[in-house]
Amino acid sequence: MGTCCSHVSVHDMESSCKPNHNDGACEHDGDRIMSRGSSEFVSMYSKKGSKGVNQDAFTVWKDFTKTKDMIFCGVFDGHGPLGHRFSQSIRDKLPSKLSESIKQSQQKVIKHNDTNATDGSSDSNVHVEDNQNMSFASWEGSFKTCFTEMDEDLATNIDPTGLAGGSTAVTVIKQGDQLIIGNLGDSRAVLCRRADDNNLVPVQLTVDLTPDIPSEALRIINCGGKIFSIKEEPRVNRLWRPNGDRPGLAMARAFGDFCLKEYGLISVPDVSYRKLTEQDEFVVLASDGVLREQIEDKGQVDGSRDLGFLVAGNVLS
């Protein structure tokens, strides 16, 4: 797994490379990108719901940005008539955009560090290790810039009308003992820790970005959007256009859904950082079909939603 040119998709590469059937990886110019299956450090699983085509998509890139100890993981949950095209396009293009942006930021850090070394000055706001590591502000800037570019690409190439749906995105980049999380929507990242009593304890790394969050609701209301639930789902508040026309969206941030962008929906990810410890075992990235409690009156799990998750283990290796 690794990086590739931004104009090359996973599907394009599969036609010109030999896939590894053991882990679902595709090799291209020496790089390997995984979009299904399992390997020695990651496993992906998806089950189609009853509504139609499976709209979940996954990807894992090892040696991300050509950095040996850097890994990128992402889960994308599409919705709407073209939800599967949204999630697949994000899977294929977003990692490349992030890779290029991060490499550019790393080069700036190297130049900054070299300049300071020459004139004897120092900058305590930038932590540099082997001339590679960036400040959190640089990581956050790369995520926000690339998510915006990705949304613009989708508006042009997937949904010019703005009515065909969109996708969530939950992504993590791991380098050494650093974990950078970029979240958009209501998919979720959960870290599994080994407690002192040897039990496994889940630690939620992301916040579901829904209209229920006061700050998200305030932005929506200030932009003229409306928030209310429908009779069929009284516990789910959704974002609506002022006239109440569909689509009503259960997220306050998402790729796509361009008809709602002027009414408070944004594609700006929530970016956070966590330093890994020896107690951290693995990370789970999952769509809301897995993590939400969709229980019917009969006590059965609602089978209408796609179930998709990615488990990344050996995070300290």
| Range 280-309 average pLDDT | 61
Are 183 and 170 in contact by the 8 Å Cβ rule? The answer is yes
Selected residue with higher pLDDT from 254 and 284: 254
Rounded distance between C-alpha atoms, residue 150 and residue 256, angstroms: 10
Please give the Cα distance from 315 to 317 (Å, whole number).
6
- Tell me what the mean pLDDT of segment 78-98 comes to: 96
Is 3.60.40.10 the CATH classification of the domain at 32-107+135-210+267-295+306-316? yes
Per residue in 23-60, pLDDT (tens digit) is: 455 654 334 576 565 666 677 777 766 567 888 998 99
Tell me the average pLDDT of the chain. Answer: 80
pLDDT at 36: 61
Q: What is the pLDDT of residue 132?
A: 52
> How far is residue 307's CA from residue 195's CA, in Å, rounded to a whole number?
28
Provide the pLDDT for residue 295.
Answer: 37
Return the minimum-mean-pLDDT range out of 5-19, 51-65, 202-216, 258-272.
Answer: 5-19
Q: Is the pLDDT of residue 186 over 70?
A: yes
For residue 166, the cross-strand partners are 79, 256
For 163-178, the pLDDT digits (tens) are 999 999 999 999 989 9
In the chain, the percentage of residues whose pLDDT exceeds 70 is: 70
CA-to-CA distance for 46 and 48, rounded, in angstroms?
A: 7
288, 315 in Cβ contact below 8 A? no
Indicate the domain borders of the chain: 32-107+135-210+267-295+306-316
pLDDT, position 49: 60
When comparing pLDDT for 102 and 31, which is higher?
102
pLDDT of 150 over the 70 cut: yes
Rounded to whole angstroms, the Cα distance separating 294 from 302 reads 5
Residue 1 neighbours by CB under 8 Å, 6+ apart: 25, 31, 32, 33, 34, 60, 61, 62, 63, 64, 71
Statement: the pTM of the whole predicted model exceeds 0.85 = no
| Torsion sign across C-alpha atoms 306, 286, 41, 180 | positive
Residues 6+ apart with CB under 8 A from 30: 2
Give Cβ neighbours of residue 34 (< 8 Å, ≥ 6 apart).
1, 23, 24, 25, 26, 42, 44, 59, 60, 61, 62
Work out the pLDDT band at 245, boundaries 50, 70, 90: confident
Cis peptide before 95 (omega within 30 of 0): no
Eight-state DSSP code of residue 4: -
Q: Residue 262 is encoded by which pair of tokens?
A: 């002027």
C-alpha span between 285 and 277 (Å, rounded): 19
Segment (H or E) for 281:
strand 280-286
Helix axes 83-119, 136-157, angle to 10 degrees: 150
Q: Please name the residue that has the structure tokens 């709602």.
A: 260
Range name among 7-16, 200-209, 252-261 with the lowest pLDDT average: 7-16
